């Protein structure tokens, strides 16, 4: 299923995670959209009533069926589609959802400051190897069979 992900390229933490996820996108199933430019506009977002300010507040994902996901739900769906079901479950497990409802908005709000103190580098050291392993697995299958076996 084709996805469109709207993210903040100006944020080192966001950019690092998206760059890792791009590695796992071996079948080019995701359109990666940087919405950080001050004059950024998108027709699909405007039709859905989503402005640039909201796009910059939390990660947004639009599925091929037009359904929008944000924040932790978007990450869970994205990691699952890109062959990292364990990470997807870390975002969407019923026991951790209350944690993410509190922590994710705080991290998103302070992402630039957190990046300056080194969180982006530490996170990249974890997520890049996970994405590389997913990419290696996904490179051995077709998009349809990858969905059946890894999502």
Residues paired with residue 61 on neighbouring β-strands, in sequence order:
5, 69
- The per-residue pLDDT for range 68-115, each reduced to its tens digit, is 999 999 999 999 999 999 999 999 999 999 999 999 999 999 999 998
Mean model confidence pLDDT for the chain: 90
* Tokens (6 digits) for 53: 């300010």
Look-up: residue for tokens 């940087």? 34
Instruction: For residues 76 and 148, give the distance between their C-alpha atoms in angstroms, rounded to a whole number.
Output: 16
* Tokens (6 digits) for 60: 């947004």
SS3 content of the chain, % helix, strand, coil (to 5): 60, 10, 30
The residues, any chain, with a CB within 8 Å of residue 29's CB and separated by 6 or more, are: 1, 2, 3, 81, 82, 143
Q: Which of 105, 80, 93 is nearest to 3 (CA)?
A: 80
Q: DSSP H helical segments within the chain, as ranges?
A: 12-24, 43-47, 52-57, 71-81, 85-92, 97-109, 111-116, 119-139, 143-150
- Which pLDDT value is given to residue 140? 85
- The per-residue pLDDT for range 45-63, each reduced to its tens digit, is 999 999 999 999 999 999 9
Question: What is the model's pTM?
Answer: 0.87
Query: DSSP letter at 25?
Result: -
């Amino acid at each position: 299923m084709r996805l469109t992900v709207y993210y903040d390229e100006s944020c080192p933490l966001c950019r690092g995670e998206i760059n890792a996820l791009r590695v796992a996108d071996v079948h080019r199933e995701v359109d990666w959209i940087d919405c950080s430019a001050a004059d950024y506009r998108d027709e699909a977002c405007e039709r859905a009533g989503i402005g640039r300010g909201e796009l910059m507040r939390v990660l947004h994902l639009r599925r091929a069926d037009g359904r929008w996901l944000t924040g932790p739900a978007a990450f869970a769906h994205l990691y699952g589609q890109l062959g990292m079901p364990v990470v997807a479950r870390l975002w969407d497990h019923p026991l951790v959802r209350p944690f993410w409802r509190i922590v994710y908005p705080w991290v998103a709000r302070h992402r630039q400051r957190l990046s300056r103190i080194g969180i982006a580098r530490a996170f990249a050291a974890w997520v890049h190897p996970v994405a590389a392993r997913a990419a290696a697995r996904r490179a051995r299958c077709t998009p349809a069979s990858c969905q059946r076996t890894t999502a």
